[in-house]
Amino acid sequence: MEVEIDLKAENKEIVNRYRKLIKSVRPLMKNDDFKQIRLAFNTALEAHHEMRRKSGEPYIYHPIAVAQICVDEIGLGPTAVIAALLHDVVEDTDMELKDIEKLFGNKVTQIIDGLTKISGVFQQGSSQQAENFRKMLLTLSEDVRVILIKIGDRLHNMRTLESMPRNTQLKISSETIYLYAPLAHRLGLYSIKTELEDLYLKYTEPEVYRDIANKIQQTKATRNKFIKEFVEPIDEALGNSGFDYTIKGRPKSIHSIWNKIKKQNVTFEEIYDLFAIRIILNTELEDEKAACWRVYSIVTDFYKPNPDRLRDWVSTPKSNGYESLHVTVMSKTGQWVEVQIRTERMDAIAEKGFAAHWKYKETHKDQNHNRETGIESWITKVREMIESQDGSAIEFVNDFRSNLFAEEVYVFTPKGDLKILPAGSTALDFAFDIHTKVGASCIGAKVNNKLVPISYKLHNGDQIEILTSSKQRPSEDWLKIAITSKAVSKIKDSLKELKKLVAVDGREIVERKLKQLKLEINEEVMAELRSFFDCKTNLDFFYYVGKGRIDPGQIKKFREEKVKRDIQSPLVIHDTKSFEKEIKKVRGVDADQLLIGENMDKIDYTLARCCNPIPGDDVFGFVTVIEGIKIHRTSCPNAVELMSNYGYRIIKAKWTSQKELAFLAGLRITGTDRIGLVQDVTRVISNDLRVNMRSISIETDESIFEGKIMLFVHDTAHLEQLIQKLVLVDGIVKVDRFDT
C-alpha cells in the first residue's frame, strides 16, 4: 500500500528547519555568509530533490540536521554549516567537486572532499571503511572541521538508525563505538561521545539498554531526593562564601553503567556511583585554580573524600584540553558520590571540545596564548603518524586507535619538561618521542636515577634520562617493545634501510648463481623463485639470501625442477589443492583464494569459538575468506572490530528453533560454602532440568566459594530457566553466564 505524501506540509517543514538553522548561526555570521548559506541550502535542496531516507522522509532533512548539530552541539560557524549542508551532494548526486569550487571556493571544497567516501573497487582483504577513515584523517592536518562535521553526520545517522535493516544497524553502530565515539572523546566532545555510546548499546544490546534505562527512570525520584539532601549544606556554604555558581546532578550514561556491570561483574543495584554532582563556577581566568580548590575544601568539610579517587585535571589538563577537579566523597547515607568541580570556561570546553577551545583561545590573549595546548599537541601527533604511515589502511586504523585513543601516562625529562605518552609506553617510546636519533641509539635509561632496560614500562611521575651509544642500531626485537606509532614507524624505517643494504648483497649473489646456471633474471624467473622459496616479495628473497637464511646452492635445485616442468606434458589438474598450488606459482604466495558458488541454496556455517553463541543469542554472520560463514554473538569481544573494518561481509543471522541440538555454555556461581552445596547444585542441573555437564570446578576461600560449570543447553531460555533454579539453592548469592 502506497503512503500518500503531503508535499505542501513537507516543504513547510523544510523551510521551518532551515529558519531554525539560520537563527542558530546568525550571531556568528559576517559579510556575505548568509548569502552563501542560502546558496548552499538551495544547491543541496535541488541536488537531493528526488531523494528520500530509509524512513521515508525527504533527504534534505539530514544535511540540515547535521548543520544544526555543528552549530548547537559542536559550536562551529558558517563555513562548517555550508559544508554540512553540501556534505553528501558529491557522493550521492551528479554534482562534482569542481562545481562546488566554482560556487563556494577552495576551503569548502577541501572540507567536502574530505567528507566524500572513496568509490571504486577495493583489493581483496582491504577494508573500505578503513580506507575512508584514513582519507578523512588525512584532512586533519589541513582542517579539523572535516572530522567535526563527520562526527555530526554520524550522530544524526545514529539518532535515525531505527529505520535501517538489522545488519546495517550493527555495522554502523560498531563503526561508531570503534572509531567515532573515541574520536569525539579525543576532541573533547563529551556529551556527543556519551550519546554515541548509548545509541551503540541501544542497537546492539536492545534488551540491556532498555533494562538499564528503565531502572534509571524508576530510581529517578529517590535519586533526586538524595541529590537535594546531599547538595543542601554545600549550596549554603558556597553561597555564604560569595561564589557565583550553579550545581547540577546527573546520572551516569547507560553505556558507562553497562561497562561497570560487565567489568566489575555486579548488578545495577550494586553500582555505587550511578550519578555525579557538578559544581560550575563563574570566575576570572587567573582565579580558576584557586577557586576550584577552595570549593574542594568546602565539599570535604561536609563529606569525607576517598583519597584514591581524587583526579586533578586542573593542574595538569588531559591532552584533549579537558580540565576539571574530580573527588569521590562518602555521603551521610553510606553512598559514594562523585563531585566534579570546574569553571564555566572548563565546562564549555568539556561540552563543545575543540571548537570551544579555539573560541576561548581567540578571545583570551592570555600568557598561554602561544603555548601549544594538549589538543594541538594531539593533532601534531596525528599529523606525524599520518606522514609516517605506509602500511595497509586497517593497520593504520588500528595504530590510530591504540596510539591516540589510549589512556595516558605523564612523565618528565631530566630538565623537568612534561611529556604525555600512551599508557603502556616504554623507555624506548620515550627515547623516540625526544628525537629519532636518540631513539635509534638508545641502549637503556635511568628512571628516577635507577638503571632500567629499554623495555621498562613508564609510570606516572617518572623522570627519565635516556642512555645512548653510537654503536647501537634498531633490531626487529624492538618492534615487540615499542608501542607508539612514532617509535614503531621509525624502527621500521631503519630496518627497511638495513634490509635494503643486505638485499643488495643478496641480489649480487643470486645474479652470479643464475648466470652460472644460464638463467636470465627477469620477472617470470623471480616469480618462480619467490614461489619456490616461499617469499612474499623480491626484496624478502634477496634479503634472506644476503642474510644466509636461503642457501644460494638451493637455486640449483630450483633450476632442476624448472627444467623438469618445462619438458613435461601439459599440466592436468585433478583437485582443488593442486589448482591452488599452481595459482600460487603464477600469482605469488600471498594471493588469497576466494571461491564463491553460483547457487548457494544451503549455506554451511560454523559457530565462532571466541563467543560460543547458542540459540536465542542475538547473532550475526561474518563471511570469512577461508572458513565460510562464522556465527558470532553481537556482544562478542571481536564483533566491533569485524563490523567496523569489514561491514560489507556482515550478513543477517537469526535462530530458528533447534531444540534437539545442545550448545556449550558457561555459568559462574558465587556464594557462601556449606556441606552438601555441590550435591544440591548438581541435583538441580542433572535431575531437575536433565542438563548434561561437561565440567564443574569450585574454589573456596574462607567459606566464600566461586564455581565454574560448563554445561550443554538448548537455547537462552533454557539457560535462563537453569539460572533461576540455581539462584534458589541455599547459599548461592549470584549466578551469571560467562564467555566460554
Residues with Cβ within 8 Å of 336's Cβ and at least 6 positions away in sequence, in order, are: 272, 273, 306, 309, 328, 329, 330
> What is d(CA 735, CA 723) in angstroms, rounded to the nearest whole number?
6
Residue 456 amino acid letter: Y
**Regions of the chain short of the pLDDT cut 50:** 1-3, 119-126, 365-371, 569-577, 579-580, 582-602, 657-660
> What is d(CA 432, CA 423) in angstroms, rounded to the nearest whole number?
15
Contact 267, 249 (CB under 8 A): no
Residue whose grid cell is 576461600:
701
Residue 436 amino acid letter: T
Give this prediction's pTM: 0.62
What's the CATH number for 213-363? 3.30.460.10
pLDDT value of position 64: 92
> Is 287 labeled as catalytic in the residue annotation?
no
What b/e sequence results for 362-385 when a residue is b if at least 16 CB atoms lie within 10 Å of its CB, and e otherwise? eeeeeeeeeeebbbbebbebbeeb
Residues with Cβ within 8 Å of 422's Cβ and at least 6 positions away in sequence, in order, are: 402, 403, 404, 406, 407, 408, 409, 429, 483, 484
pLDDT value of position 740: 61
DSSP secondary structure, 302-353, as one string: HSEE-GGG-EETTTS--TTS---EEEEEE-TTS-EEEEEEEEHHHHHHHHHH
Residues with Cβ within 8 Å of 371's Cβ and at least 6 positions away in sequence, in order, are: none
Residue 598, classed as helix, strand or coil, is: coil
Pick the CATH number of 7-206 from 1.10.3210.10, 1.20.1600.10, 3.30.420.40, 3.40.50.150: 1.10.3210.10
> Is 92 labeled as catalytic in the residue annotation?
yes
> What is d(CA 711, CA 690) in angstroms, rounded to the nearest whole number?
11
Residue 294, classed as helix, strand or coil, is: helix
φ/ψ of residue 214, rounded to 5:
-65, -40
> What is d(CA 643, CA 183) in angstroms, rounded to the nearest whole number?
17
CA atoms within 13 A on the CB side of 704: 4
φ/ψ of residue 275, rounded to 5:
-145, 165
Residue 54, classed as helix, strand or coil, is: coil
Cell of 560: 632442476
Question: What separation in angstroms does the CA of 110 have from each of 95, 98, 376, 386, 734?
Answer: 15, 11, 21, 18, 57
pLDDT value of position 390: 54
Residue 327 amino acid letter: V
Q: For residue 336, is it left (φ>0), alpha (ψ between -120 and 50) or beta?
A: beta
DSSP secondary structure, 534-550, as one string: T-SSHHHHHHHHHHTSS
DSSP symbol at 58: B
Contact 90, 104 (CB under 8 A): no
pLDDT value of position 405: 57
CA atoms within 13 A on the CB side of 315: 8
Q: Which of 33, 92, 99, 493 is catalytic?
A: 92
DSSP secondary structure, 638-678, as one string: THHHHHHH-GGGEEE--PPP-TT--EEEEEEEEEE--TTHH
Residue 285, classed as helix, strand or coil, is: helix
DSSP symbol at 268: G
Domain layout of the chain by residue ranges: 7-206, 213-363, 493-587, 663-738
> What is d(CA 583, CA 528) in angstroms, rounded to the nearest whole number?
11
Residues 609-637: tens digit of each pLDDT = 787 787 777 777 887 766 777 888 888 87
Fold of 663-738: Alpha-Beta Plaits (3.30.70)
Q: Are both 213-363 and 663-738 of the same fold?
A: no
Q: Which of 32, 91, 688, 720 is catalytic?
A: 91
Burial of 129 (0-12, 13-18, 19+ CB in 10 A): buried
Neighbours of 390 (CB within 10 A): 11
Contact 671, 731 (CB under 8 A): yes
pLDDT value of position 96: 84
pLDDT value of position 571: 45
pLDDT value of position 2: 47
How high does pLDDT run on average in the chain? Answer: 78
